Structures are given as C-alpha cells and as structure tokens.
Amino acid sequence: MFVLCAICLSIVIPSSAVNVLSVSEREISFNLHTNASFNLNSSEPVSENVTIWFGYTDGNNLYPLPNSTFVENGTLIDLTFTLAAKEAGHTTVIAKVTPPILIVKDAYIRVGVYKYDAWNVISSIIGWLYFIAWSVSFYPQIIENYKRKSVIGLNFDFLGLNLTGFIAYSVFNIGLKYVKEVQLEYHTVHPTGIIPVETNDVVFAVHAVFATLVTIFQCFIYERGDQLIAKSTVAILALVWSTAGVFLLLTALHVNKYTPWLTFLYFFSYVKLGVTLTKYIPQVVYNYQRKSTVGWSIGTVLFDVVGGLFSIGQMFITAYNFEDWYSFVGNFTKFGLGVASCTFDVIFMIQHFCLYRHNHLPSDESALIA
C-alpha cells in the first residue's frame, strides 16, 4: 500500500516541476545617471532549450533588457542583467520563460529610478525623524500625568479609541509582515506587489500599544475626578471588537475561500483609519467644554504635528524624486490621514496658545482650590 502510494506520487510529481527562477533582489533603486544590475538564477539546470525575456508594467522608464536570451538544455541559469533608465520612475520588471517550464512567480523585481542622491538621503533621514517624533509623542502626556498625579483633562474616550486603533494597526502590520499565509494571499491579489509593511511600522505600532496602556494604567492610579468613558464610545468599541470576533470566526470557518486572512486584516486597517479620523474629536470637545487644555499635553501635540509634517513632506519628496505622482495618488489615504491629524493638532494649538491660554485651571477646579 505504502509503496503503491509512493509510486503514484512519483508519477504525479515529475522531478523537473520544482525548477524555480529567482532574482537576486526584490527591490532595487538607483540614480538616473547610473546603472544597476541584478542576477537571475534557476534552482536546477533547465530540461529543455529555453529563451528568457522580460515584461514591464505600464509607464516603463527603463531601456529594454535583451529581449531573448537563449539557455541551452542542461545548463543552470545564472545570468546578470544591467538596468539603465531613460527617466525617473517606478517599473516592475517581470522575467518570462518560453517554453514555460520554470516556476517564475517570484521572478520579478521592482525598480525605482530617482533623480537626486541628496533627496534620497534626506528622504530616509526624514523617515527616521517622523518615526522618532511619533514614538516620542506619547511621553509628554505620560510625564504630565505623572507630575500632576492626575489625569483630569485627559479625555478617556480618546484613550479608548486610541488603544483600539493601535491594536488594530499592530494586528495588521504583524499579520502582513510575519504571517506566511497572509503574504501568499497578498501575492495572489498583487502578483508582483511588495508587502507594504516594514519592520519600523511594526515597532512603532507595538510601542504605541504599550505607551497607550501605560497612560490608561495611569488613569487607574491617579486622581481622575468624575471622568468616565462615554457610553456611546463603549458601544462603538464593543461593536468594533465583536465584529472582529465574528469576522475571525467566519475566517476560521473558511467562509471566504479566496483571501480569508488578508480580508480579515483589511478589516483592522479600516478600524485604524476610522479611529485616526475620529479619535481627537472627544478631546477637542472636552477642552471646549472646560474652556481649558490643562491636563492635555501640548508636548504630545507638538511631536505629533512634527511627525505628521515630516510624513507628508517625505511623500512629496519621494513623488518628486522618483517623478512618481501616480503612487502619491495611490497613497492618498496615508496623505489624507496625515492632513487630518495635523488639522486636529492645529486645533489643539489654537485652543492651547490662543483661546484658553489664560485658563490654566478650569473654573470649577480653581474654585475648588480657592
């Protein structure tokens, strides 16, 4: 019986079926005035004469690579190609083999060509600066709470929304960055796509959850007056998390057969989106009602606005340097979120530095002290 199965298997899976064509790099970027090269390998010698050629995505800005490279039966593919560009831009180069006897699904490379090295360096420095600014932005609030031994003035609805938002963002980032199953699904939807999550996105999100939990912990141990989280916020958060639970159940039961885990993760990215657009509203209203920003750290707001401006600035620099306003439009959500956050920050600054600058204590609290 066992021998029979083994024979069946060896017939079903011919040994040549595992020859995989791969590229030395997934992404490459270089200055318009220079060239870059990449290597193409097969895992096994080819079992027939083949020709290798290349396809390009729309808006190809590269000089064409040799259209047909002949590889004789029995040789291992190990070829180096040099890329040169006519103009700045992004193109995905896809290797093809005729006859199609190799597995080529990973044989593509995303090529970015930029105009100026200096802008490229500035862009990556700005990337680090906004990562740092946003990560540090949690601490002025934590320090202020600690110094006052009070969280009066810090809105609990904001904290609840913020925690949900960053947990959702962490789930999304970790799933896409580390779960093989999710990545496979991502590549069925975007066959030549690059996973849009980097390690520092994961670090930022997980740290944000931690810092928000510390702030929430402070709400339990410090003076908080009669502050509570609003029933409507509790209802919204309960709805979000029970939807997540139902979604998880449906996913585990394979109701959506096509890309179950990816769809599940996109749900979390929409949660993060919704939270980012709404989380500051309760705090703005609360400051307005108290006619004071005492207890709401302006340091946090300043770091947040600096991070937001850097993030938006980096998008502009990248679009300009790569002459790629198309991907700027494609990234419109990120841009919109940055603008929305900065807008709220400006409202907070107006409240803090203009409207309520004389009200260091709200009337009822100063009455209490008097």
Ligand X SMILES: *[C@@H]1O[C@H](CO)[C@@H](O)[C@H](O)[C@H]1NC(C)=O
State how far the Cα of 290 lies from the Cα of 359, in Å rounded to an integer.
Answer: 9
Rounded alpha-carbon distances, angstroms, from residue 27 to 24, 90, 185: 9, 10, 20
Q: Which one, 34 or 333, has the nearer CB to ligand X? A: 34
Q: 81: which 2 tokens?
A: 């190609």
| Minimum distance from residue 310 beta carbon to ligand X (Å) | 33
Closest contact distance (angstroms) between CB of 14 and ligand X is 13
With tokens 């306003």, the residue in question is 325
Residue 31 vs 256, nearer CB to ligand X:
31
Q: Which is nearer to ligand X, 47 or 256 (CB)?
A: 47
Q: Are strands 36-45 and 21-23 parallel, antiparallel or unpaired?
A: antiparallel
45 — phi, psi (to 5°)? -60, 145
Give the residue with the Cβ less far from ligand X, 108 or 264.
Answer: 108
301 contacts 348 by C-beta, under 8 angstroms: yes
The minimum distance between CB 182 and ligand X, in angstroms, equals: 26
Q: Output 66 or 196, the one with its CB closest to ligand X.
A: 66
Backbone angles phi, psi at 223, to 5 degrees: -60, 135
CB of 54 to ligand X, least distance (A): 8
Provide the token pair at 17. 């079926």
295-333 in b/e form (b: 16+ CB < 10 A) is: bbbbebbbbbbbbbbbbbbbbebbbbbbbbeeebeeeee
* C-alpha–C-alpha distance, residues 311 and 129, integer Å: 9
Minimum distance between the CB of residue 318 and ligand X, rounded to whole angstroms? 24
| Tokens at 91, concatenated | 């193109």
Q: Which residue, 96 or 148, has its beta carbon nearer to ligand X?
A: 96
Characterize the bridge pairing of strands 27-31 and 108-114.
parallel
List residues near ligand X by CB under 6 A. 24, 34-35, 39, 41, 43, 47-49, 51, 53, 63, 67-68, 72-74, 78, 82, 84, 98
Q: How far is the CB of 323 from ligand X (least distance, A)?
A: 19
How far, in Å, CA of 244 to CA of 250, rounded? 10
Query: Residue 352 CB, nearest distance to ligand X (Å)?
Result: 54
Of 73 and 124, the one with the shorter C-beta distance to ligand X is 73
Are 162 and 211 within 8 A, CB to CB? no
Whichever of 15 and 289 has its CB closer to ligand X, that residue is 15
Residue number, 85 or 306, with CB nearest to ligand X: 85
Q: E strands, the chain, where?
A: 21-23, 27-31, 36-45, 50-56, 69-71, 76-83, 89-98, 108-114
CB of 103 to ligand X, least distance (A): 13
Residue with tokens 């105009």: 115
At 84, list the tokens: 């040169």
For the CB of residue 206, give the shortest distance to ligand X in the complex, in Å.
35
**Both tokens assigned to 136:** 């540090």
